[in-house]
């Protein structure tokens, strides 16, 4: 890392006097991809940086310059847009749009996709390859990690860093390095032979199998074993791995996985076939269990209890039975619809105490009212009223002082003072959702079980950072800045290898939920 730091590949470095690097997004044999800020146009971008003195394989300034020129010609909605590129000393850089979404690899980590969604994504990738093949560019590394689904649902094909112009010289072909990922590599690519547009079609066939079934067509203990299967083994049929797949899709994928490149359809043929494929609606999907390290956010629903009017006896007719039918528990009826969401524990306790207090108040009032009636302070309903006499005119008489007649004296009744009932205030739906999202991050951290001391220390660091950040996020104190700072800490520890990939992906998904609510 020291060499990379001195050569300008570090946070805070300024590339070409314009692009300020922020934090590392990804790295590979062809360089590193950084999140950066274009200080001239004041926008966030993704910058791919290659140290020409340290890069492996036949990477030269001339080859990188051709890559810049080639990718700049790729103007397609399903291809990441290139803004700028060039060299800065021993560094070559490529500036691209910064995407907000999740990679297809992260989506497949949860399980296979619905067939209709897999066909849609595959069709977008096929149209992108059709556009690149028309200008003589072969991607050579179509795989889930190089396909992103944005927050709006659009598909973007990434990393044309190992794309090769089909018209390169024979000398360059002689020094060809075998690139790509074994599980999605064409047979000719695995054998180190020249590759063309048909190689991308084969890789897309492997990608379709992975999206529909949750696994590529060939798996093995290592890359060498998988590459050998790509060369010699017959791929399984799609309908064998997932029964019920439409027969036209099964036949199309089988043709795309032909060992002979000449027997495969073109990317344009694949795009048209997928666009015209009729996929019947599937039954309700049963999602596979979430893998270890995947954050599952609990549903948060703020439901206010219905107001109930308690009428005194005789004050009016009984409520219609329709109201109780509306409030019945649908969970007791097997065909009555979906079960209502489970309320939070604090909500159930609060409602329970409010109902108990209201019931107690009704009982006290009933006892007092009954006692007053027994004592004669309140006339009984239906009792005959004492008739009043019509006064007549009489001469005034002396008024004698009245002496209370001896008899039973009723004691005065002191009504009890009822306590004030404090109804717990309910948080708003937005606050409850934000708390649920923050709790989702805590769930991911709880499921992280580090084995070595360095990972244990990393988890402690992340725990402390999240405790401080989440407290300020829930309080609304610079929430966006606190969230960005915590995300940078997670990225830094992941780059050092202290956070495993599964936990890192789960944290990224959970933090994305918090970011949306903030």
* Maximal CA-CA distance, the chain: 143
Residue pair 440/296 in contact (Cβ under 8 Å)? The answer is yes
What are the Cα distances from residue 411, in Å, to 369, 372, 403, 414? 16, 12, 19, 9
Whether 141 is a known active-site residue: answer yes
Which burial class, exposed, middle or buried, applies to 213 when counting CB atoms under 10 A from its CB (0-12, 13-18, 19+)? buried
Q: Which of 417, 413, 308 has the alpha carbon at shortest distance from 369?
A: 413
Q: How many residues belong to the chain?
A: 518
Burial annotation 86-96 (CB, 10 A radius, 16+ → b, else e): eebeebbbbbb
**Could you tell me the two tokens for 285?**
């999907």
Whether 308 and 355 have beta carbons less than 8 Å apart is answered as: no
Three-state secondary-structure class, residue 516: helix
Any idea what DSSP says for residue 219?
-
Strands (E), 119-240: 137-138, 147-150, 155-157, 164-165
CA gap 108, 209 in Å, rounded = 11
Q: One of 51, 141, 159, 491 is an active-site residue; which one?
A: 141
DSSP states of 357-417:
HHHHHHHHHHHHHHHHHHTTSSPPTTPPPPPPPPP------PPPPP-PPPSPPPPPP-PPP
| Distance of alpha carbon 309 from alpha carbon 44, whole angstroms | 57
Angle, CA 308 vertex, CA 306 and CA 311 arms, to 5°: 170
Distance CA 90, CA 60 (A): 10
Question: CA-to-CA distance for 82 and 96, rounded, in angstroms?
Answer: 4
Tell me the C-alpha distance between 469 and 479, whole Å: 8
72 near 135, Cβ under 8 Å?
Answer: no
Distance of alpha carbon 419 from the chain centroid: 47
Phi and psi torsions of 103, nearest 5°: -75, 155
Please give the positions annotated as active site. Answer: 141
């Amino acid at each position: 890392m020291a060499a990379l730091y001195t050569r300008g590949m570090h946070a805070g470095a300024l590339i070409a006097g314009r692009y300020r690097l922020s934090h590392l997004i990804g790295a590979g044999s062809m360089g590193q991809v950084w999140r950066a800020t274009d200080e001239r146009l004041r926008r966030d971008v993704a910058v791919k940086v290659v140290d020409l003195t340290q890069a492996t394989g036949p990477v030269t300034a001339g080859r990188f310059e051709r890559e810049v020129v080639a990718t700049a010609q790729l103007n397609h909605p399903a291809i990441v847009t290139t803004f700028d590129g060039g060299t800065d000393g021993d560094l070559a850089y490529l500036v691209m749009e910064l995407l907000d979404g999740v990679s297809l690899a992260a989506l497949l980590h949860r399980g296979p996709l619905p067939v209709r969604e897999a066909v849609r994504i595959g069709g977008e990738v096929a149209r992108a390859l059709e556009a690149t093949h028309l200008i003589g560019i072969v991607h050579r590394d179509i795989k889930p990690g190089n396909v992103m689904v944005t927050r709006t649902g659009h598909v973007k094909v990434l990393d044309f860093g190992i794309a090769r112009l089909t018209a390169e010289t024979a000398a360059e072909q002689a020094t060809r390095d075998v690139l790509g990922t074994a599980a999605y590599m064409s047979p000719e690519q695995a054998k180190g032979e020249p590759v063309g547009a048909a190689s991308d079609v084969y890789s897309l066939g492997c990608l379709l199998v992975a999206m529909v079934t949750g696994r590529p067509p060939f798996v093995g203990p290592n890359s060498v074993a998988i590459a050998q299967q790509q060369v010699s083994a017959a791929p399984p049929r799609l309908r064998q791995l997932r029964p019920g797949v439409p027969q036209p899709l099964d036949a199309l994928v089988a043709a795309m996985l032909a060992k002979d490149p000449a027997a495969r359809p073109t990317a344009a043929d694949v795009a048209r076939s997928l666009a015209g494929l009729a996929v019947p609606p599937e039954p309700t999907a049963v999602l596979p269990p979430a893998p270890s390290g995947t954050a599952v956010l609990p549903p948060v629903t703020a439901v206010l209890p219905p107001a109930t009017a308690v009428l005194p006896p005789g004050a009016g007719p009984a409520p219609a039975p329709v109201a109780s039918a509306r409030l019945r528990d649908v969970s007791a009826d097997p065909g009555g619809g979906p079960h209502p969401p489970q309320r939070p524990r604090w909500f159930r306790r609060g409602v329970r105490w409010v109902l108990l207090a209201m019931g107690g108040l009704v009982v006290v009032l009933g006892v007092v009212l009954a006692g007053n009636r027994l004592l004669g302070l309140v006339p009984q309903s239906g009792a005959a009223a004492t008739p009043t006499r019509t006064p007549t005119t009489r001469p005034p008489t002396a008024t004698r002082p009245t002496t209370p007649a001896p008899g039973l004296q009723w004691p005065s009744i002191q009504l009890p003072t009822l306590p004030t009932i404090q109804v717990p205030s309910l948080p708003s739906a937005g606050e409850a959702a934000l708390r649920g999202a923050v709790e989702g991050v805590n769930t991911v951290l709880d499921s992280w079980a580090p084995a070595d001391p360095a990972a244990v220390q990393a988890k402690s660091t992340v725990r402390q950072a999240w405790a401080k950040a989440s407290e300020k996020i829930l309080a609304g104190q610079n929430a966006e800045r606190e969230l960005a700072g915590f995300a940078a800490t997670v990225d830094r520890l992941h780059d050092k290898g202290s956070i495993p990939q599964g936990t890192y992906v789960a944290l990224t998904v959970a933090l994305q939920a918090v970011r949306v609510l903030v």
